[in-house]
Structure 1
Amino acid sequence: MEKNAIEIKVAKNRLKAWIELIDSELLEEVRTNDLIKLLEKEKIQKELIHFDEANWKQSLQEKQQLVIAEGTPAVNGVDGYIDWKLSLDAELSEQEKSSFRDVKKIPSVTAETLLAEVIPPTEGKSGIDVYGNIVKQQKGRKVSTKAGQNVEFNEETRNFIAKKDGKLSVTDKLIQVFDMYELSGDVTLETGNIDFVGSVYIRGNVPAGYTVKAQGDIHVLGIVEAAYLKAGGNIVINGGVSGMDKAVIQADGDVRISYINQSSVESGNNLIVSKSILHSQCVAQESILCENGSIIGGTCSAGRQILVNTVGNFANTKTELALGINKNKRERLEYLKKEIDKLLNNKTKLKTLGNQLQDKKERIGLNAKERIMLLKQRNMYEKVIEQINEMEEEMDEMQFSIGNYTDMEVIVKGKAFDNVLLIFGKYSRKLDREFKYFKSYLKEMEIVIDSL
C-alpha cells in the first residue's frame, strides 16, 4: 500500500533522501508508522530522519515531494600556502627605468630578512550520508617548497629567513638567496663559458657556441644565439633567441623571452614570450603565455595552459600545441613504479625474516647475534615502509595531475590556421580550417572548441 502511495528517493551523493507522492488517493491510508517502517526498510539512518509528523501528508500533497532525511557533506581541507613578507614584483615603474633595456629589477634581500611564513594545511572534516556512512574529506596538501642555499627554515615559527645578502630566487621547489655574477658586455673568448653557483647577469649577448650555467637565475639583456643556457632558477632574455636549431634554454623556474626562433626551450614553471615562437620546441611544466604574439611551426607543450594570439600561418605550416604530461614526468613515473615494486619485495622478505626471529624468540629465545639481527630487521622494515609511503605520495600527486585534464586549455585570442594540431594527452584534433577567438579543452574524451 505504501509503495503505491509514496516512494523513497535518495540523491546520487546520498546526502539527501525524500519521499515522492505516487498516488494521492492512497495517501490517506498511509500512517506515520508506515512511513517510518518504509524508511527503516530503506536503511535510512534513524538519527537523520526529520519531518513534521502532524502535517507531513499535507506538505506532500502541496509539494509532491518532501525531504525526509539529510546527511552532512564533507568539508575538504584547505591547502597550505606561503605567506610572503616582502614583494616579489619584478616589474619596474616608469620612474625606475633609465633606458628601454630596463625591463625587470632583481629582487635582493639582506641577511636575517624574514622572507615568508608557511601556513599549514587544514584537515577538513568528514561528513555522513543518509545511510550513516562516513563521507571522507580531502585533506589539504602541505607546502612542498623548501629552504635552499643561504635560506633557513625555522620549524617552530614556520618562517623562511635569509642568511646572506644576495638575490632572492623563488621556484615551486626552493627558496634561495644567491650571490650574483655580473658581466658588463658580451660573453667572449675573454670570459669563456660561465658556470656559476649563484645568478648571472649579462648586459650584452651570448654568441653561438657558448655555455652559461647558473644555480640561480640568468638574465641576458641582449640576444642569445646558438648557445646553451641552464638555470636552477629563472631565465630572462630581453633580446630574444635566434637559435639556428642549436640553441637550448633550460630553467627550473620561469623563462621570459621576447621571441624564440629555431630553438629548444624548457621551463620548470611558465614560459612567457612577448612576441613570437617560430619553428621551435618549447616545453613548460605550467603554462606557455604568448598572449600578444604568434606560434608558427614546431611543438609547444604545457602542463596547464597555452595562451596565444595567432597559431600557424597562411602557408599552413604544421604547428603542434600539446597539453598534459611531458617526457620528464613520464620517465619519473615509470621510475617510481619500478622502485616501489622493489621496495614491496624487500618488505615481504623483511617481514618473513622478522616473523621467523620473533617466533624463535618466543619459543626458545635468541642468541646475541640473532637479537642484533632482529633489531636491524625492525629498523630496515620501518625505513622501507617510510620510503614506500613517500614514493606512493609522489606518484599519487603525479597521477592526479596526469589524469586531471579539467583545468587544461588552449586559448587563441586571434586566429588559428589550417594544419594546427591540438593534443591533450593521448587525444588529438587537427584543424582542417581556420578558427578565430576560441578556447579548446578536453570534454568527455573529446577535444572541443568554444568561442571566446
Structure 2
Amino acid sequence: MRSQARHLPGWRRSTMDFVGMALSESGGSILLHVQPQEDRGDIDAAALRDWLVRDGYGDCLLHHEALERAAKDARAASAPFSLPVAERCDATVVVHIATDAMSASLDIKPARGGAPATVEDVRHGLMLAGVVAGIDEVAIAQAVVAQACEAVVVARGALAQNGHDAAFEELIPAAPDRAPKLDDSGFIDYREHGDIVMVHTGALLMRRQPATPGVPGFTVRGDTLSAKPGLDEPFAAQLTGAKVSDEDPNLLQASQTGHPVRVHGGVMVEPILRLAEVNMDTGNIHYDGTVQVDGEIGQGMRVQASGDILVGGMVDGGILQAGGNIKVTGGVIAHAMLRAAGTISARFAEAAQLYAGTSIAIGDMALECELQSLNQIVIGASAPQRGRLIGGCATAMMLIQAPLVGSPSGGITKLVLGANPELEARCHDLQQQMEKETAAQESLHKLIAHLTAVGDPKGLLSRAQASLKNAQSAHAKSLLAFKDLEQQMALSRHAVVAVGVAVAGAVDMAFGRVQAHLRSEYRAGSFRLDGEGTVVFADSSGYAVPAV
C-alpha cells in the first residue's frame, strides 16, 4: 500500500502539500484516504487529478465524480474517510458473430492502467464465442498491435461452391449446330456456316468434362455447408458415325468419314452423298446422311436427306426435304418446295414454298412466295438496301425482317407474326394428355376411397396407391412441360416486323388475332404490338404511332 504526500509545483493557486491525505492501491482500485486537518488549504478536483497523474495513476480510469466529492468533503472532514477515485482496467475483448455465422468481428477497448490485450486474449474470446474456423491470424495480430479497434473481421466462413455440370467441348468448331439457341428475347442466335466440313475415321470430335462434386463451405462456428454436385450427363446414346474412345471414356471420335453435326450431348458424323446435279438421269435421291449437290436440282426432282442438303446451283421446281438444314447457293424458283427441320437459306426465292423449323434467310429477294418459319424470317441479308419481300405470305413467330416490304404495283403482301404451329400443336396435345391424367387420378382416388371404406380382400389398395403416386408424378411433369411451352409462346408478344428502308403498296399484317391493313407508305422502322394490344409503328427515333 502506498501512502504519501506530494509537493505539486505549478499548481494554479499556490504550492502546497496534501496534508493528512494519502493514496493507496488494492486489487486494482486506487483509494484516497483523508484525515481531518484544520490547517488544510482549499483543494479542488483538478488538484487531486494532478496528484494522481504525478503519482503514476494517470493511465487509470479516473472517477471524476468521486474526485469532486473527495475535494468537497476533504475541506470540512470531521472524521477520516476513504474513497475509490480511480481503478486499473484491463483491455476488453468482445467478439461478435454475424447472424449468418459467416463472419466474426472483434472490438478491443484499450487498457486503462491495466493489462493490454494479447493474441491469447483474442483467441480465448473467439473460443468462448464458439468461433473455431476461418480465423484470420494476421487480422488478429494487427488488432492487438493497435490495442484499439471496432468491428474488425477476424474470422470468415466460406460459402459452398456448387459443382459444375458436365460440359462438352467441341473439337470440330466448324461443325453446324442442329439446335440453334434462343436469346432472352426469343430470337435465334444463328451462325451462318460456309462449305461443308469433312472429318475422317478416328478424328477427335468432342471432349466431355465430367460433372464436379463441388466444394463444401463452412461457418465460423465450424458448421459444414453442403455443396450441390453438378449434374452429370454422358455422351448421347446412338450417335451416328461416332463412338467413345477406347482409351478415354470422355473423348468422342469419328467412326466413319463424313460430315460432323453438333447435337445435344455429342457430335454425329453423317455420311455424305455428293452429286454433280439432280435430274432425270440421277433420279430422286433418298439418303440417310448429308447430300451435297454441286449443280442444280431440276423440275419435279425430289431430294430427301436425314441430314443437311447443300445445293451449289439453283433449285428449279425441285422438292427438298431435310432433317437438318437446307442451303442453296443460287435461287429457289418455279414452285419449288423446300422443307427443313432446321434452317433454310438461299440467294433469292420466287414463286416457291419454304418451311423451316427455325429460320429462313433469303439473301436478296422473295417474290410471291409462301414462307413459314417457327422463329424468324430475314430477307435481304446480303442486300440491306435493295432486298425485297413482295407478295405471297410470310409467317414467323418472332421476327420478319426485310429492307423493302410490298410493292405499289404488286398484290397484297401478307405478314403473320406470333404464329408457331408446332408449339400450338404440342400445347394442344399436352392439354389432352393432362385431361386424361386428371381423369385417371380421379378414378384412382375413388377406388382408394372405396377400398378403404369396404375393405380390401384382394390386396388392391397398395397397388392403387402406387398407381396414384405414379400418376401424380407424371401429371407434375406434364404441368412443368406445359408451363415451359406457355413461356415459349408468351415470347410471341414481343414479335417484330423490322423494315430497313420502306413499306410500299398493300401490306396486311397480323400479330396473332390483331390485324393491321397498311395502305400508306412507311419509312424505316418497326411494327409491333403495344401494351394495349394495338399494332404500332416506331420510326428510327423511337416515336410510335398506330399502324393504319
Range class of TM-score, shorter chain: 0.5 to 0.7
Asked if the contact 2:259/2:272 (under 8 Å) is kept, the reply is no
Q: Secondary structure at the match of 2:372?
A: strand
Map 1:313-332 to 2 at 5 A: 313-332=407-426
Q: CA deviation at 1:86?
A: 3.9
1:302 aligns with 2:396: yes
What is the aligned partner in structure 2 of residue 408 from structure 1?
495
Q: From the superposition, tell whether residues 215 and 381 of structure 1 become closer, same or farther in structure 2 (CA, over 3 Å).
A: farther
Q: Deviation string for 1:139-181 (max 9, x for gaps)?
A: xxx99x9666326799xx997945534322246x786514333
What is the aligned partner in structure 2 of residue 198 from structure 1?
289
Asked if the contact 2:299/2:317 (under 8 Å) is kept, the reply is yes
Aligned AA for 2:292?
Y
- The partner residue of 1:275 within 364, 368, 388 is 364
Q: CA deviation at 1:313?
A: 1.2
What CA distance in whole angstroms lies between the structure 2 residues aligned with 1:160 and 1:313?
Answer: 55
Aligned AA for 2:421?
K
What CA distance in whole angstroms lies between the structure 2 residues aligned with 1:386 and 1:376?
Answer: 15
- Identify unmatched segments of 5+ residues in structure 1: 1-46, 48-79, 92-102, 121-141
Q: From the superposition, tell whether residues 163 and 302 of structure 1 become closer, same or farther in structure 2 (CA, over 3 Å).
A: same
Q: CA deviation at 1:198?
A: 1.1
Asked if the contact 2:206/2:252 (under 8 Å) is kept, the reply is yes
What CA distance in whole angstroms lies between the structure 2 residues aligned with 1:88 and 1:233?
Answer: 18
Q: From the superposition, tell whether residues 146 and 243 of structure 1 become closer, same or farther in structure 2 (CA, over 3 Å).
A: farther
Asked if the contact 1:180/1:201 (under 8 Å) is kept, the reply is no
Q: From the superposition, tell whether residues 176 and 384 of structure 1 become closer, same or farther in structure 2 (CA, over 3 Å).
A: farther
Map 1:181-220 to 2 at 5 A: 181-220=272-311
What CA distance in whole angstroms lies between the structure 2 residues aligned with 1:311 and 1:179?
Answer: 39
Aligned AA for 2:330?
G
Q: Secondary structure at the match of 1:233?
A: coil
Q: From the superposition, tell whether residues 385 and 176 of structure 1 become closer, same or farther in structure 2 (CA, over 3 Å).
A: farther
- The partner residue of 2:334 within 232, 237, 243 is 243
Q: TM-score, normalised by structure 1?
A: 0.64
1:289 aligns with 2:378: yes
Q: CA deviation at 1:89?
A: 4.3
Bigger radius of gyration, 1 or 2?
2
What is the aligned partner in structure 1 of residue 518 from structure 2?
431
- The partner residue of 1:105 within 172, 195, 201 is 195
Asked if the contact 1:223/1:238 (under 8 Å) is kept, the reply is yes
What is the aligned partner in structure 1 of residue 261 from structure 2?
169
Q: Secondary structure at the match of 1:307?
A: strand
- The partner residue of 1:85 within 160, 166, 170 is 170
Aligned AA for 2:534?
E
- Identify unmatched segments of 5+ residues in structure 2: 1-98, 100-164, 177-192, 212-231, 541-548
Asked if the contact 2:352/2:370 (under 8 Å) is kept, the reply is yes
Q: From the superposition, tell whether residues 185 and 400 of structure 1 become closer, same or farther in structure 2 (CA, over 3 Å).
A: same
What CA distance in whole angstroms lies between the structure 1 residues aligned with 2:251 and 2:439?
Answer: 39
Q: Secondary structure at the match of 1:238?
A: strand
What is the aligned partner in structure 2 of residue 99 from structure 1?
none
Asked if the contact 1:147/1:153 (under 8 Å) is kept, the reply is no
What CA distance in whole angstroms lies between the structure 1 residues aligned with 2:445 and 2:202?
Answer: 50
Q: Secondary structure at the match of 2:370?
A: strand
Q: CA deviation at 1:106?
A: 1.7
What CA distance in whole angstroms lies between the structure 2 residues aligned with 1:180 and 1:256?
Answer: 22
Asked if the contact 2:285/2:304 (under 8 Å) is kept, the reply is yes
Asked if the contact 2:403/2:502 (under 8 Å) is kept, the reply is yes
Q: TM-score, normalised by structure 2?
A: 0.54
Asked if the contact 2:418/2:493 (under 8 Å) is kept, the reply is no
Aligned AA for 1:228?
I
Q: CA deviation at 1:443?
A: 1.1
What CA distance in whole angstroms lies between the structure 2 residues aligned with 1:337 and 1:153?
Answer: 40
Identity of aligned residues (%): 21
Q: Deviation string for 1:105-164 (max 9, x for gaps)?
A: 2234555735376999xxxxxxxxxxxxxxxxxxxxx99x9666326799xx99794553
Q: From the superposition, tell whether residues 381 and 167 of structure 1 become closer, same or farther in structure 2 (CA, over 3 Å).
A: farther
What CA distance in whole angstroms lies between the structure 2 residues aligned with 1:447 and 1:82?
Answer: 43
What is the aligned partner in structure 1 of residue 442 from structure 2?
348
What is the aligned partner in structure 2 of residue 265 from structure 1?
354
Q: Secondary structure at the match of 1:404?
A: helix
Q: From the superposition, tell whether residues 277 and 236 of structure 1 become closer, same or farther in structure 2 (CA, over 3 Å).
A: same
- The partner residue of 1:223 within 299, 314, 322 is 314
Asked if the contact 1:411/1:438 (under 8 Å) is kept, the reply is yes
Q: Secondary structure at the match of 2:510?
A: strand
1:395 aligns with 2:482: yes
Asked if the contact 1:307/1:410 (under 8 Å) is kept, the reply is yes
What is the aligned partner in structure 1 of residue 536 from structure 2?
448
Q: From the superposition, tell whether residues 152 and 183 of structure 1 become closer, same or farther in structure 2 (CA, over 3 Å).
A: closer
Q: Deviation string for 1:81-103 (max 9, x for gaps)?
A: 97653464479xxxxxxxxxxx8
What CA distance in whole angstroms lies between the structure 2 residues aligned with 1:295 and 1:255?
Answer: 16
What CA distance in whole angstroms lies between the structure 1 residues aligned with 2:322 and 2:305?
Answer: 5
What CA distance in whole angstroms lies between the structure 1 residues aligned with 2:210 and 2:398?
Answer: 25
**Structure showing the higher strand proportion among its residues:** 1
What CA distance in whole angstroms lies between the structure 2 residues aligned with 1:119 and 1:422?
Answer: 49
Relative contact order higher in (CA < 8 Å, ≥ 6 apart): 1
